[in-house]
Copies of this chain bind each other. A is one copy, B any other.
């Protein structure tokens, strides 16, 4: 089968054998934004000569801006609930294939608003077999990061943090960004940011420290960017339950190393998972839905 992780800004395709092992994979920058609605053509080009009949797609491809809008499945939800809600895409252009889309998840959070995910539920499905049945914390870094609680094979609830997007905004467009100079990664400055986030005060106040620590030479201009990165990731982790001992780090984001460092600094044991979680999740869902037995 072919697994497709099609997000806003990236597209990954995987070819798996009948036991679910990834045999080949490709990555491109043709996310749903860059695809500009040419989903059939882009998918055909990306899978090339892979002739597998079954294709399972996850991510923003199932959103209003994607190929086919899928309703959200409410938490708690595991393999069973998500697999039951897969929908087959009516794609005449792919008459020789069978294309299924994975739905996103919806969680009502403590503040009364909903949280939503598209794609991360599939990554979680890909690591479910490795999680104990008692409540586990899963962290999925990204532009809109997710912190999820998984118990008994189901996503109980999750929260989104706009960490990655705010970091890019502040670096590109704020007064703080204008003070920054590019430099080597600076683990000390990053750790200072993580520590700063744990102190009293709201993020709106802490952000100004990027300016004043630079103003009074406590940080060099090259250190402001890693400090800000640590500060924001630290603030996201402030929402982790203090009881969350170990944390499962899942995904293929370039931010994984930074989150691993921040979690360790905060005293959490970190379990790293395969960056193929997305492909494994598509396989697990196809299997649960009985799609693999169809020949």
Give residues in A with beta carbon < 8 Å to B: 109-116, 144, 159-163, 165-166, 169-170, 172-175, 196, 199-209, 212-213, 215-216, 218, 232, 235-236, 238-239
Contact = CB atoms under 8 A, between A and B. Distances in A.
12 contacts: A109-B201, A112-B196, A113-B218, A115-B208, A162-B174, A162-B204, A162-B205, A165-B174, A165-B175, A166-B174, A203-B204, A204-B236
Contact of A202 (B165, B205, B236): B236
A142 B264 CA distance: 37
A216 B150 CA distance: 24
Nearest to A233: B204
A111 B162 CA distance: 23
Nearest to A110: B200
Given A116-B215, A169-B170, A204 B111 contact: no
A253 to B, nearest CB: 16
A265 to B, nearest CB: 16
B199 A166 contact: no
A203 B203 contact: yes
A105 to B, nearest CB: 12
A205 B199 CA distance: 18
A227 to B, nearest CB: 10
Given A169-B169, A202-B235, 10 more contacts: A109-B201, A111-B196, A112-B199, A114-B213, A159-B201, A162-B208, A169-B174, A202-B236, A202-B238, A204-B235
Nearest to A114: B212
A239 B166 contact: no
Contacts of A159: 201, 205
A220 to B, nearest CB: 15
Contact of A110 (B166, B170, B199): B199
A21 to B, nearest CB: 35
Contact of A113 (B113, B115, B213): B213
Contacts of A202: 161, 203, 235-236, 238-239
A196 to B, nearest CB: 6
A130 to B, nearest CB: 26
Contacts of A114: 212-213, 215-216
Contact of A203 (B116, B175, B235): B235
B236 A201 contact: no
A114 to B, nearest CB: 5
A15 B72 CA distance: 63
